[in-house]
Structure 1
Amino acid sequence: MKNLKILFIASIFITSTISCKFVINQPVVDLLVNIPTEVDANLSEKTFGHLPQNVRNFLATLPPENRNPNIDSQLLFGEEVSILEEVGPEGDFVKVEAIGQGFENKKVIGYINKTQIFSIPNAIVCNQKAKIYSLEEPAKEIMQLSLGTKLTIIRKLDVSWYQIILPDGSYAKINSNDINSYEYLSGLTEKELRTNIINCAKNFLRYSYCWGGCSCNKVDCSGLTRLAYLCSNLTLPRNAIDQYLACKKLENGSQLKPADLIFYARADKPKRVFHVMMYLGENALIECGCPFGVRILTGEAKFGKTIETINGEEILNNEICKNLVIYFGTFINK
């Protein structure tokens, strides 16, 4: 029963206004010309009879194990398919188009079992914590998800709720205020994107610093920046040094835009970046540091001078900032 339930989403997908993609979840899957049934022992012969004469002549030259006329093609693990309709005696098969196998108007279409595909996430939790509820028992809470959790929306139930599919194939609902679709996020302007990242980071204000934290429950410096970007569907490396290595480097603080990042390392080990902060604009930053946790500071309070006047790779050594080399970077290329 569970296997039948796993991808009943096929029929839902057809009427959904949400863009939902599916991929093959097994190493190799046969794309069938007809749906196999236990009661139809002559399926192969029927399929063979519908083929053009030249194809039948060619297949007749092959050994029996190499000439199944009901196999039109094969699909590989991770290969994308588009679901056209739900079919079969018990609705356990789907008619699909093999994306990337056709050419121009010549589409490669066939049948596969629902259990041979799974859905790709198309949305992300945008609030600090989001509860998901049972469809059968609307008041029953299933679990609480962290900001940054990726989900698959199947359809919009009403103004306030989305239906989602969980990894075990079961369904749940989530409040529409707790989730942003990838489609919505991809349509943001650069200014809106940067604002969204900053607002996400500000949700963590007054959180304590916790080494290794990267969830709605606790964060460290790079966990804060990673989650803030993740809620806009931008994936950063986990650690501060890797975020520095992966970003586009900026020459000085005056080039920073809101949501860009500031890094530092000790002057005697300038390549060993160990802290990351987020620029908020107008000489302000947000960081998660020890022992103060997540807080907003001015450049003077953190570096002893305004952020915009600091050069990249400049070594600061004053009462506030002791022998630290400063770096700037961005992950936003809009």
Structure 2
Amino acid sequence: MTRIAAVLCTFICLTGAANAQTDSTIFRKMETVVSSAKDQFAPDKRTKIVAITAANAINNTYTIESSVPEATAYIRSQIANIPAHIQINTLPDSTVGDRTHGVVHLSVANFRTKPGNASEMATQALLGTEVDLLQKVDGEYRARTPEGYISYVPASAVSAKTKSELEAWRKLPKLIYTTEFGKSLSKPNPESMRVSDLVYGNILALVGDEGKYYKVSYPDKRIAYIPKDEALTFDKWLTTRNLTAENVIASAKTMMGLPYLWGGTSVKGVDCSGFTKTAYYMNGYIIPRDASQQVLAGQPVDILDKNGHFEPTKALKNLKPADLLFFASGKANSPNARVTHVALYLGNGEFIHSAGTVRINSMLKDAANYDDFQTRTVVAAKRYIGVQDQQLQKIQENPYYKQK
């Protein structure tokens, strides 16, 4: 039983069926309106929020939460004649004030599905990543990442900024860390104290240089030094990105052996879709976050027979390196089952993916590394390279990475 249904049930028990029927009718109307708004404007709850967050049948009051202006307008138009006290909480809300923007200032920030370190991890964002701050709850921000993912991150991981403060940050020249792992230092001296750890893809403001070091500034205004041979100016890095199959595969192979980490999108650990997302990010592209979202992007590749089942001969003929393979868990699952896993095709029947660790397996039955393939059902394949799709975006075209 849901919390809202439980409240309604309690009211029915206490006040009798006649009165409860009226309030039950109102609740059902509210539920219908919000459900319709979700279907039209927020079908994926990971990226857009439309929900009833509180319902008090005794007082006939309801609270609705929305991060989608179009959904808010629709709901307002539909509830005008419903006899109830209805509050719509639009996001971002008053808990963040005028600081509706943030920039991650840890090497890797963990975002969770609910507030608290015990909650399930949803995704990660790297140092220098801009996020939208929608709400503050118990010392954590409800934030939206550049991929549109909405989840909770500790306030200690993000520098909250007003619009003008964000613009000032954007105007600063940027540096991107290009070594897998490292650290920034308090002085241009290898023996000096560490300011923080760093991972591939971290972005900092470039202040200047001193000898063999870049002087950098963090989003929270800490100053540090980074060896010049471990970083590039962000503009130069972007010009060196060339989205080819060879480059994507090379980037993927640099992550060989990394541990599987649910929600991970960094070289500290990756889940299956975090792995493919990172391989494309290393080559200058932002792609959707989850496997079930990634399968909706790109150009379909025909790898199934007329009954919708995986056909190895057809797959070997039609797949190209760097295509994405999508799986449902369980060998006996329907081909229409929900996508739960993604891998990057290498060629010759082999693919690389994050499953326990980042590793290479084969779809060929006589291959020594075939074993993992037989435990899953292939349901689709998509091609990203050479495809025009607004879900596949160059980093410099993404509004969260634009520089002034």
The answer (yes or no) to whether the contact 2:184–2:196 under 8 Å persists in 1 is yes
What's the offset of the Cα at 1:243? 1.4
The answer (yes or no) to whether the contact 1:302–1:321 under 8 Å persists in 2 is no
Whether 1:295 and 2:335 are equivalent positions in the alignment is no
What's the offset of the Cα at 1:268? 1.7
The answer (yes or no) to whether the contact 1:277–1:286 under 8 Å persists in 2 is yes
Q: More deviation in 235-244 or 253-262? A: 253-262
What's the offset of the Cα at 1:181? 3.8
Go from structure 1 to structure 2 and tell me whether the alpha carbon gap of 1:125 and 1:201 turns closer, same or farther (over 3 Å shift).
Answer: farther
Go from structure 1 to structure 2 and tell me whether the alpha carbon gap of 1:284 and 1:115 turns closer, same or farther (over 3 Å shift).
Answer: closer
What's the offset of the Cα at 1:167? 0.6
Structure 1 residues 121-176: Cα deviation after superposition (integer angstroms, max 9, x where no partner): 74433332121112376522111123232333344544x43222211223222233
Whole-angstrom CA distance in 2 between matches of 1:187 and 1:302: 42
2:382 alignment partner, one of 316, 328, 333: 328
The answer (yes or no) to whether the contact 1:126–1:180 under 8 Å persists in 2 is yes
Show the counterpart of 2:340.
274
The answer (yes or no) to whether the contact 1:123–1:182 under 8 Å persists in 2 is yes
Aligned residue pair count: 208
1:151 alignment partner, one of 204, 209, 225: 204
Show the counterpart of 1:244.
295
Whether 1:142 and 2:195 are equivalent positions in the alignment is yes
Whether 1:179 and 2:241 are equivalent positions in the alignment is no
Whole-angstrom CA distance in 2 between matches of 1:201 and 1:233: 14
Whole-angstrom CA distance in 2 between matches of 1:293 and 1:304: 17
Q: Give the TM-score normalised by the residue count of structure 1.
A: 0.51
Structure showing greater relative contact order (alpha-carbon pairs closer than 8 Å, 6 or more residues apart): 1
Whole-angstrom CA distance in 1 between matches of 2:237 and 2:351: 24
Whole-angstrom CA distance in 1 between matches of 2:287 and 2:367: 25
Whole-angstrom CA distance in 2 between matches of 1:135 and 1:324: 52
Over alpha carbons, which structure has the higher Rg?
A: 1
* Other structure's SS at 2:278 match: helix
Q: Which amino acid aligns with 2:196?
A: M
Structure 1 residues 161-197: Cα deviation after superposition (integer angstroms, max 9, x where no partner): 3222211223222233433444334334746x54443
1:208 alignment partner, one of 228, 253, 259: 259
Go from structure 1 to structure 2 and tell me whether the alpha carbon gap of 1:131 and 1:323 turns closer, same or farther (over 3 Å shift).
Answer: closer
Whether 1:131 and 2:162 are equivalent positions in the alignment is no
The answer (yes or no) to whether the contact 2:326–2:378 under 8 Å persists in 1 is no
Q: Which amino acid aligns with 2:217?
A: I
* Other structure's SS at 1:222 match: helix
Go from structure 1 to structure 2 and tell me whether the alpha carbon gap of 1:328 and 1:144 turns closer, same or farther (over 3 Å shift).
Answer: same
Structure 1 residues 216-251: Cα deviation after superposition (integer angstroms, max 9, x where no partner): 222111111122222233222221111121333334
Whole-angstrom CA distance in 1 between matches of 2:234 and 2:380: 34
User: What is the identity percentage for the equivalent residue pairs of Structure 1 and Structure 2?
Assistant: 27
Alignment map for 1:70-149 (pairs within 5 Å): 77=163, 117-119=168-170, 122-135=174-187, 139-149=192-202
Go from structure 1 to structure 2 and tell me whether the alpha carbon gap of 1:269 and 1:145 turns closer, same or farther (over 3 Å shift).
Answer: same
What's the offset of the Cα at 1:286? 0.8
Q: More deviation in 172-181 or 224-233? A: 172-181
* Other structure's SS at 1:152 match: strand
* Other structure's SS at 1:245 match: coil
Whether 1:170 and 2:234 are equivalent positions in the alignment is no
Show the counterpart of 1:224.
275
Cα root mean square deviation, aligned:
3.7
Q: Which amino acid aligns with 1:183?
A: D
Whole-angstrom CA distance in 2 between matches of 1:261 and 1:323: 14
Go from structure 1 to structure 2 and tell me whether the alpha carbon gap of 1:298 and 1:268 turns closer, same or farther (over 3 Å shift).
Answer: closer
Go from structure 1 to structure 2 and tell me whether the alpha carbon gap of 1:205 and 1:322 turns closer, same or farther (over 3 Å shift).
Answer: closer
Q: Structure 1 residue runs of 4+, over 6 Å off? A: 302-306
Whole-angstrom CA distance in 1 between matches of 2:166 and 2:239: 33
Go from structure 1 to structure 2 and tell me whether the alpha carbon gap of 1:333 and 1:322 turns closer, same or farther (over 3 Å shift).
Answer: closer
Unaligned runs of 5+ in 1: 1-75, 79-113, 307-318
Whole-angstrom CA distance in 1 between matches of 2:282 and 2:380: 27
What's the offset of the Cα at 1:115? 10
